[in-house]
Amino acid sequence: MGKLRDDMEKDLAVRNLAKKTRSHYVGCACNFVRHFNKSPAEMGLDEVKDFLVSLEKKGSGPERRKMHAAALKFLYGVTLGRPEVAAAIPLPKVPHTEPDILSGSEVTLVLSKVQGLKCRMVLATAYAAGLRLSEACHLEVRDIDSKRGVIHVRRGKGGRDRFVMLGARLLVALRDYWKVVRPGGSYLFPGRDPLKPLSSTTPRKALDNAVKAAGLKKKVTPHLLRHSFATHLLETGTDIRVIQALLGHKSLSTTAHYAQVDSARLSQVKSPLDLLGTAQGEALG
């Protein structure tokens, strides 16, 4: 894409989008160019639609197609200055599925199977504080505020800072970890280069191996630990608005998606029909 690629990267950077998002968007735009072997400036809505259809024919899932559509919306709407094309690009509908939530005992089992102290602590911290894996990997030593009992999450999704709880058990575990690892730089979980954070790929692979060792059939990812964190808080009585703040969500509806109510708890809810004619049902009028 040459100069156009440089322009797109600048536009993405100016809007302070996450590095991962920038990389995905540029990659999607390059895929579009390679498909037609033409500059996007010479193409328009018809080519975009044809390209999205070709992705479906190749077996690309709705999430991948939606990413490409969003990237091309940005390319045409911002970098190429053709908002009429961007507005007409359809976003594929992504089916909503509820992830399997880990029980408390399953979280304990999986974490106990994680090989390597550093990986185990990164994943334990992610679950204990509801962090994204990238947020946990990028924690600095200064972010652990034991006096106030909080963790400072810097530059989370959308570039927003937030504070989350620092549990007593996590603090003890982090202190034990510190005594063993003694990180030399600013990062709490340094990579091979002590001046850089641990790559999220390493604990992700460690989690995959731990799930296999635990014999779990659920699809467990680092993000599922975050879902489980939210659900466990909800099930133990935490207000969903507090959970929203801890997760760093702008929208309460996003938090509601993260925090599920398990079937056992749902089965304990009394139907209003069962309450009719009873003392408890008098409140219904």
Task: Determine whether 258 is an active site residue.
Answer: yes
Report how far Cα 130 is from the mean position of its chain's Cα atoms.
10
Count CB neighbours of 267 within 10 A.
7
Q: Among the options 10, 34, 223, 241, which is catalytic?
A: 223
In whole angstroms, give the CA distance from residue 173 to residue 169: 6
Q: What is the CA radius of gyration of the chain?
A: 23
Torsion angle in degrees (nearest 10) through CA of 79, 84, 85, 90: 120
Query: Could you say which of 22, 120, 226, 227 is catalytic?
Result: 226
Please tell me the distance from the alpha carbon of residue 45 to that of residue 51, in angstroms, as a whole number: 10
120 is a catalytic site residue: no
Q: 147: Cβ–Cβ under 8 A, 6 or more apart, which residues?
A: none
Dist CA 225 CA 131 (whole Å) = 9
DSSP 187: B
Which residue out of 132, 162, 227, 232 is catalytically annotated? Answer: 132
Instruction: Determine which one of 157, 204, 218, 257 is catalytic.
Output: 157
DSSP calls for 191-205: -SSTTSBPPTHHHHH
CA 163 to mean position of chain CA atoms = 17
- 187 as an active site residue: the answer is no
249 assigned to active site? yes
CA distance readout (Å), 48 to 84, 104, 249: 13, 46, 32
Q: CA-CA distance, 138 to 112, in Å (whole number)?
A: 23
DSSP result, 68-126: HHHHHHHIIIIIS--HHHHHHPPPPPPPP-PPPPPPHHHHHHHHHH--SHHHHHHHHHH
Residues with catalytic function: 132, 157, 223, 226, 249, 258
